[in-house]
A and B are shown apart, each in its own frame.
Chain A
């Protein structure tokens, strides 16, 4: 049981805050839209992940429980 970052592609407007706050798990495509790593958030990055979720101006990022 872990947590994974999910981006709502409709809400994502390419602000790029997530990639600045959490470069370990988020990169941007060449148009500036977030690409989140398809892996559970490592324990050591959960705090940063929460910060990235809170820092998204479009509220497009979420932490979801994965089995």
Chain B
């Protein structure tokens, strides 16, 4: 995607009403116009100072806020670790959003920049950091808007920490925590091998606290309204709301804010009938749906009939290899070939390997080629055996989770589109519409410079 892109990509739709009746929280009830500083202050009140960092930490822990970037790590634990580190870590708001199927972070940054900036300031105060960075996907309009918001706040004297805006390269892995840190030290945004857990380090003795921008926006609201308020939405185990990027079967996309535990059927307009066959497609307001991709390109395909009964929550999705994570849901229409769609994305994922780890840069292109072969007519049966063997050989063997996530996504396709694979063996295919459905950036960068 280029800098000329309009922001946000998808129109923002009003979220369905949830428990607590106070939704949406992060986005205005209607419209997709940026919320200016005055309007922000009118709606949410002044930025509360973290008078007692310990109190805010306890409030975040009680709220049960988890990272909204995909990994879902408890925010309070990460904040507490950062608050103990000396010198104070650099706070980084991560809006790289390298996932092509997601646009919730850029939508949030475009529409509600001040909530994110509030959260960034609060995190900096809690851990005692004098500086913060907002690391955002490459997009001229978005960057111009954010630079304006940062300047407006500085002029109004809001927040003690200085905020720098840094551009993330247009790569799938640009938002991976160690890649973010690498970029901030002036090196390419490549993932690093980190044998020791804990906060990533910018330099010896200087750690960074990297938090997804949506997580920071939730933090800003918890600081104002408290843990009990936060828990008014969502489930007891997974409280709060989350932003989701929805891609309906007719190709329309939107970003919505929903409580954790919202039914997937409602979000994608699926209308499952009683006694529906497991493998059959499910009618939806946007046309028949054969499968649902949950969690993006490191997530998993689910048969539509199964997805229609699931909730958007880790408890429901994790056992199936999918995740509520970064909130991507895509409804694959019945007239597309799921194998061809997956093969196209698998090729993209192979090209997005940082090229650092042998198993990843050797395995993913071979896996993608095998999948492309399986997506064609009358594939050689050896392709499937090769693919399975290679998938086993790359899993768990990268510095980052790119090989693991890619394999999870591809394996789910082999399960969910097993019927389609059978058709291909007979030289047939259920896909009647050859147009690509899942978004994949058109032109791929080709040089090392593209990582910075």
A residues with a Cβ closer than 8 A to B are 6, 8-14, 29-33, 35, 62, 64
Contact = CB atoms under 8 A, between A and B. Distances in A.
B275 interface: no
Q: Could you say which interface size class chain B belongs to? A: 10 to 19
B73 to A, nearest CB: 21
B195 A9 contact: no
Contacts of B358: 9, 12-14, 29, 31-33
A32 B398 CA distance: 15
Contacts of A10: 192-193, 356-357, 399
Contact of B359 (A11, A13, A31, A64): A31
A27 B358 CA distance: 14
Nearest to A60: B193
11 contacts: A9-B356, A9-B359, A10-B357, A14-B358, A29-B358, A29-B362, A31-B359, A31-B362, A31-B363, A33-B357, A62-B195
B201 interface: no
A16 to B, nearest CB: 11
Interface in B90-118: none
Given A13-B358, A29-B359, A31-B358, A8 B195 contact: yes
A62 B195 CA distance: 10
Given A29-B393, A30-B393, A35-B397, A6 B359 contact: no
A33 B399 CA distance: 14
User: Is the contact region of chain A dominated by helix, strand, or loop, or is it mixed?
Assistant: loop
Nearest to B393: A29
A64 B195 contact: yes
Nearest to A13: B358
Contacts of A64: 195
B42 to A, nearest CB: 50
Interface in B311-359: 356-359
Interface string B174-204: 0000000000000000001101000000000
Contacts of A12: 357-358
A11 B332 CA distance: 40
Contact of B399 (A9, A29, A32): A9
Question: Closest 8 CB pairs between A and B?
Answer: A33-B358, A9-B357, A31-B362, A10-B356, A10-B193, A29-B393, A8-B193, A10-B399
Contacts of B363: 31
Contact of A6 (B192, B195, B360, B398): B195
Contacts of B393: 29-30, 35
A27 to B, nearest CB: 10
Which of A12, A29, A62: most chain B Cβ within 10 A? A29
B289 to A, nearest CB: 38
B175 to A, nearest CB: 19
Contacts of A31: 358-359, 362-363
A11 B192 CA distance: 10
Contacts of B360: 9
Nearest to B192: A10
A43 B97 CA distance: 46
Given A9-B193, A30-B393, A33-B397, 19 more contacts: A8-B195, A8-B399, A9-B356, A9-B357, A9-B358, A9-B359, A11-B193, A14-B358, A29-B362, A29-B393, A29-B397, A31-B358, A31-B362, A31-B363, A33-B357, A33-B358, A33-B359, A35-B393, A62-B195
A35 B193 CA distance: 16
Nearest to A64: B195
